[in-house]
Amino acid sequence: MTDYVKRMKEHLERYRDERLGVQEDGVHKSTGRPYPHILPEHLRWLNVHEPYRKEVRAHVDDPENNVSLHRDFHHLNSSQAFAFNLFFPFFHDEFPKPLLEAMGLSGGAADWQLERVPYREEGTNVDACWRDARGQWTYCEVKLTESAFGAAKDDERHLEKYRDIYSEPLEPYWGSVDRDPKNFFRNYQIFRNLWLGAKEPQSTIVFLLPRASAKPWDAVHGIVGKMDVSLSRRVKVVAVEDVLDRLGARSDLPQRLAMNVEQLREKYLPT
């Protein structure tokens, strides 16, 4: 466990006790063991901030939105819950500009979606995405305390998928990246997101993660920096800390959004 992950989990334990008033440990479904940074399953919706909890639940419950809760949604360090808490309020209230500016992005969000699968035959589930008035998509991958981006097995099924789906769109953009399939599978989740940028040459790809989480931060920079500039210039690696600090410095947010930003900073900036 890295120092950042340790600090975040200890911080979330205090948050659970002091802000949420929950004393019972939740259970990690993979191990069956209780942990203080996990909510009891029946209290999982406390992981969404009160100003928007009702609306988020309605959004998730609406089958037209195709949103399913992750298995570990009841973990206070759930990246899905973090994405809900960050993106939903600004998009739902049709006030996305402050959030996009905090991420160093321009444009707007004429349409938006959480947990979108742009290409069913490929299967990547995008944490948050939005489309501007010109129809150009931004795809955002969100990390919080994950120690690394996901890898894939170097097996025949994935090799076939690499040949049939990924290889051709990425071909013009490899730059100086090691294009050996083994490297692709070691960094599978990063390359799947970059593939979206290759498929849609007008799109923007965002990796939103804590700068303090050094291993994934360095991994994505190491790959993006070697891709051809025609793709890498459309890829933004954004620090969670910077986004929350910039939002916290704004004085022009409506009251409910300002309250949500205060809660984001309290919960996701470990002290």
Q: Is 88 exposed, middle or buried (0-12, 13-18, 19+ CB in 10 A)?
A: buried
CA distance 269 to 67: 26
271: pLDDT strictly greater than 90: no
Q: What percent of the chain has pLDDT over 70?
A: 100
Taking residues 43-62, report their average pLDDT.
98
Rounded to two decimals, the pTM is 0.97
Where do the structural domains in the chain lie, given as residue ranges? 77-264
pLDDT of res. 225: 98
Does residue 138 register a pLDDT over 90? yes
Give the C-alpha separation, 97 to 263, whole Å.
Answer: 19
The model's confidence at residue 1, banded by pLDDT at 50, 70 and 90, is confident
Give residue-wise pLDDT tens across range 114-125: 999 999 999 999
3-state secondary structure of 220: helix
* Per-residue pLDDT reduced to its tens digit, 158-174: 999 999 999 999 999 99
CB 152 within 8 A of CB 185: yes
How many percent of the chain have pLDDT more than 90?
98
> What is the average pLDDT across 234-260?
98
Query: Can you tell me the distance from the alpha carbon of 102 to that of 29, in angstroms, rounded to the nearest whole number?
Result: 35
pLDDT at 107 over 90: no
